[in-house]
Amino acid sequence: MFPFRLPRRCTLVRLTVAVSCVIYWPILAHSAEIPPTLAPPEIRQAVQGAWQQHPSYRINEALIAAANARLDAASKPLYNPELEVLLDREGPDRSAVAGVNLTLDLSGKRRFRHDAAEARVDQATAEARVVRREFTQQWFEGWADYLAATQRVEIGDRRLRLVARFADLAERQYAADDISGLDKDLASLASEEARLQQSQLLAEQTDAEARFREVGGAINPATGQSLPTSELPAPIAYQKGDPEELPDWQVAQATAKALAREVLVARQNRVADPTVGINGGRIDYGSFRDNVIGVRLSVPLFVRNSFGAEVVAAQADADAADAEVERVVLQLDTERRRAITTYDSSRTAWSRWQASRGTDVELRAGLLERLWKQGELSTADYLLQLRQTLDTALAGAELEARVWRSFVEYLAATGQLERWSGLEGTP
């Protein structure tokens, strides 16, 4: 299996991935946290390389860069000065006036917009972490599925050899008049069925490999290592924990914070900003010339539109975001409980399966053959029990992959997946 060495047992079941030593699991709420041992260096390198080559990595970088650019834009003054030039000629009269106007941000709109943009940077950063964690989870799940499919193909190869050997033995037994033609045909049909089933397993392996490659997985010696499932730690008992370290909560909290600041921006937008200006020039009235200078002040009047509806809408969005934070906290707590329970049950099932004597394919196949040769089993019974034995081995490969999928979900639900995979702190 993922290697717990089987001298004679389960040589068919050899799915592989490496996690070199026992992983210690962190105690979550109200306890000192013990960080888990990292995944092996070659696996961390494979995940990091896949992440940095995946389009999601570039999307994350672009979105964070955009949020920082908007923050930089929000830090700039809201208004630029305006240059005004007026030239007028009517008969002998001429006038030329130039001036500069500037709208003043007396209410502090710039500061409020900067604060809102800063919260959006936090939101973009948290969303990028969610994307990275989901990518990591999909990578490990795709990896486990691929290795399980590969293991099932190996079991299928073993089935082909066993059934082909039995069919050949049945031919010789038939030639010696030890079995009937019906038994010989039954053995031949079983061999053909094994070939059809093997083609299905090969197709499933191809599908699993394609899904693994979709998340940047590469088939190489590093990703072809075995998964030491027997070394996985027992899950901690469920207890309600603090979700603040989880990126899902950080996204919800940053969104709520940004929308709360958008309410302040909307309220400031209801404050009219005055425009002041100064101009000067020369006026010619026939033979009379004179220099002029003037000061200008204008204030918009919000009488037709007070922009109050925008404040109501922003406040409603902020209220919805606050409720979303509560929903996310409930969801994360439920997900933690489910992940712990699922991992515990799948790990327990795997331990029981591994300890069962019925999973020793080599031993059982040899026993069945001896009983058939001695006439204590009919050909139909032999093939039925051999099929059950091999189906159990195939189910064991799927169960082992399920253990790893639930373990990865367990790490993700408790905020430890990125640290374990070595992606914590990466962009």
Q: If you write DSSP's letter for every residue of 387-424 in order, what string do you get?
A: HHHHHHHHHHHHHHHHHHHHHHHHHHHTT-HHHHHT-T
pLDDT (mean) for 304-320: 94
Q: Is 50 part of a structural domain of the chain?
A: yes
Q: What is the pLDDT of residue 172?
A: 79
- What does pLDDT average to over the chain? 82
pLDDT mean over 129-137: 93
* Tens of pLDDT, residues 220-264: 776 766 666 777 777 877 666 678 889 999 999 999 999 999 999
pLDDT at 183 over 90: no
- How many other CB atoms are there within 10 angstroms of residue 230's CB atom? 16
Is residue 334 included in any domain, yes or no? yes
**% the chain with pLDDT above 90:** 40
Amino acid found at 100: V
Lowest mean pLDDT across 84-88, 270-274, 362-366: 362-366
Distance from C-alpha of 245 to C-alpha of 40, rounded to nearest angstrom: 24
pTM of the model as a whole: 0.76
pLDDT at 342: 93
* Arithmetic mean of pLDDT, 15-24: 31
- Provide the domain count of the chain: 1
Side-chain-side CA neighbours of 54 within 13 Å: the count stands at 24
DSSP assignment string, 321-334? HHHHHHHHHHHHHH
> pLDDT confidence of 355, banded at 50, 70, 90?
confident
CA distance 116 to 123: 11
pLDDT tens digits along 80-90: 999 999 888 87
Q: Quick one: pLDDT band at residue 107, thresholds 50, 70, 90?
A: confident
pLDDT value of position 24: 30
Q: How far is CA 123 from CA 3, 47, 67, 114, 132, in A?
A: 42, 25, 9, 14, 14
**403 has pLDDT over 80:** yes
Question: Could you tell me which residues come within 8 angstroms of residue 3 by beta carbon, excluding any fewer than 6 positions away?
Answer: 14, 16, 226, 228
Instruction: Give the separation between CA 128 and CA 321, rounded to whole angstroms.
Output: 19
Strand partners, 282: 96, 291
Question: What pLDDT shows up at residue 227?
Answer: 62
- In a domain? residue 301: no
Confidence (pLDDT) at 226 = 64
Q: Could you list the residue range(s) of the whole structural domain that residue 170 is in?
A: 41-80+108-267+330-421
State the CATH number of the domain containing residue 254.
Answer: 1.20.1600.10
Q: How confident is the model at residue 277 (pLDDT cuts 50, 70, 90)?
A: very high
Residue 356 lies inside a defined structural domain of this protein: yes
Q: Has residue 34 got a pLDDT over 50?
A: no
Q: What is the pLDDT of residue 124?
A: 95
Share of the chain above pLDDT 70, in %: 85
Tokens of 112: 């409020």
The answer to whether residue 396 sits within a structural domain is yes
Task: List pLDDT tens digits, range 91-105.
Answer: 677 888 899 999 999
pLDDT, mean of residues 255-276: 94
Mean pLDDT of 279-290: 83
Q: Compute the average pLDDT of residues 276-280.
A: 92
Report if residue 11 sits inside a domain: no
Which is more confident, 343 or 223?
343
Is 102 part of any domain?
A: no
Position 260 in a domain: yes
